[in-house]
Amino acid sequence: MKNNKYEIDMVNGTIMDKLISFALPLMLSGILQLAFNAVDIIVVGQFSGKEALAAVGSTTALINVFVNLFIGISLGANVLAARCYAAGKDEEMSKTVHTSIMIAIISGIVMAIVGVVFAHGALSLMGTPDDVIDLSTLYMRIYFCGMPFFMLYNYGAAILRAVGDTKRPLIFLIISGCINAALNLTLVIVFDMGVAGVAIGTIVSQCVSCILVISCLCRANSSYQLKFSRLHIEKDYLMQIFQVGIPAGIQSTVINFSNALLQSSVNSFGSVAMAGYTAANNVLGFMYTSVNSITQACMSFTSQNYAVGKQKRMDRVLIDCLILTTAVALVMGCGAYFFGTQILGIYTSSEKVIKCGLEIISITTVPYFLCGIMDLFPGALRGMGYSTVPMILSIIGTVGVRIIWIFIFFPMHRSLYFLFISYPGSWIVTIIMQVACFMVVRNKVKRTMT
């Protein structure tokens, strides 16, 4: 099962230590990848003013709406690759790898075209203020030119995660992250390029991480070795990837659409509130990527153990992941709550912007463990091949609650604090539905394995 020092045997031995060994590098990788955008925000906020800070931040939700369908599909590639690897199906694993990389290439090119063409119109629909929309459009168009690199890295990393290798993607991101930070500082401070400079820095760093992960796959002495001569899409494997990946992508896209609606509500308070939201949302982003790494671990471990029929081990994986998620989220959430002023001060020196950010942090950070729990159950279900129903429940619970809150309750109590009460409220509703769904599926799977 384990072919080199980077891989993890997910179907034998102890679980908690292996979950931590898997999730910790993935957590650091996600934090580092998010730091690409954080460096953009910090540099423009400190050296180009609040308009530039608002411009970069106003694109975040919209970029996520565009890209998360295709990133979600990479989860399907991860699940299928994990099953093939655990079952020792080398030829099927190879076909999964080459189909996945082709999906990444095609989706990256499509996203680059869509982002460049529709950036200004989409930002206008979101109600982006006139004083930042030109800068936002410029940043978004340059950023989307790097989508092919972004997609290739994420799909390549998904394949490595399927075999338990989360350490090398971390090394690759450390290298590209240092390049990103250096370029941002140089292009913004030395050459005064503002939002264009940070966007260019991000593209270059994504290109570097892409080259490194693809090179890793090409050099692999295993069933997941990538050969450019074999790149093509196998219809059967494409459909299996889509079966898990498209519902996951739709779920993420629709949830980010609700966040885009929320961004529009924030925009109605003006550029100062937008800047505060940008900084606070980046803090929440670090928390999300931390708990999401545990969800990714849960999905990969569940998928491999499902392939070899180990039901009791699947249950233990979920329990251990619940413990990890709660612990990590509570530590980070309480830290963000008590040191919110100091943390937001990293992004901006404006007291008004910090005040707006604190309103958001005060209601979202401490209960953030609920968000982690909310995502764990769909992760376990996807590992077993069930993705559509969790998608529907997440959309109803998360998006439905937020839309109702934004259009019915928020107009009566217009404040950032009240607006973001919709976050913990939607998490609680979704958890209740996902747990019920999980118990039904678990009992069904248990009957098929006995």
From CA 392, how far away is CA 396, in angstroms rounded? 6
> Residues 6 or more apart from 178 whose CB is under 8 A from it?
none
Is the backbone of residue 4 left (phi > 0), alpha (psi -120 to 50) or beta?
beta
From CA 450, how far away is CA 445, in angstroms rounded? 9
From CA 343, how far away is CA 336, in angstroms rounded? 7
- Lowest mean pLDDT, pick from 61-65, 88-92, 318-322, 358-362: 61-65
Contact status, residue 37 vs residue 261, Cβ threshold 8 Å: no
pLDDT in tens, 409-432: 999 988 889 999 999 999 999 999
Give me the pLDDT at residue 3, please. Answer: 58
Mean of pLDDT values over 360-380 = 94
Which amino acid is residue 254, in one-letter code? V
On whether residue 136 sits in a domain, the answer given is: yes
From CA 57, how far away is CA 135, in angstroms rounded? 11
Which residue range forms the structural domain that includes residue 174? 16-449
pLDDT in tens, 214-263: 999 999 888 889 999 999 998 998 998 888 888 888 887 777 777 777 87
Asked whether the predicted pLDDT for residue 2 surpasses 60, the reply is no
Q: What share of the chain is helix, strand, coil (3-state, %, to 5)?
A: 85, 0, 15
Phi, psi of 310 (to 5 degrees): -105, 85
- Lowest mean pLDDT, pick from 108-117, 269-278, 352-361: 269-278
On whether residue 8 sits in a domain, the answer given is: no
> Residues 6 or more apart from 335 whose CB is under 8 A from it?
none
Could you identify the residue written with the tokens 């491999």? 304
From CA 16, how far away is CA 239, in angstroms rounded? 33
140 alpha carbon, distance to own chain's centre: 18
pLDDT in tens, 328-350: 999 999 999 999 999 999 878 88
Task: Please report which confidence band the pLDDT of residue 287 belongs to, taking 50, 70 and 90 as the band edges.
Answer: very high
On whether residue 2 sits in a domain, the answer given is: no
Q: What angle do CA 151, 152, 157 make, to 5 degrees?
A: 100
Could you identify the residue written with the tokens 């370029």? 183
Could you give the residue ranges of the DSSP H alpha helices within 308-421?
311-338, 340-347, 351-364, 369-383, 388-394, 401-404, 416-419
On whether residue 432 sits in a domain, the answer given is: yes
Task: Please report which confidence band the pLDDT of residue 180 belongs to, taking 50, 70 and 90 as the band edges.
Answer: confident
Q: What total number of domains does the chain contain?
A: 1
State how far the alpha carbon of 242 is from the alpha carbons of 153, 165, 249, 321, 399, in Å.
Answer: 19, 23, 9, 26, 22
> Residues 6 or more apart from 345 whose CB is under 8 A from it?
354
On whether residue 3 sits in a domain, the answer given is: no
On whether residue 239 sits in a domain, the answer given is: yes
On whether residue 375 sits in a domain, the answer given is: yes
Mean of pLDDT values over 375-401 = 90
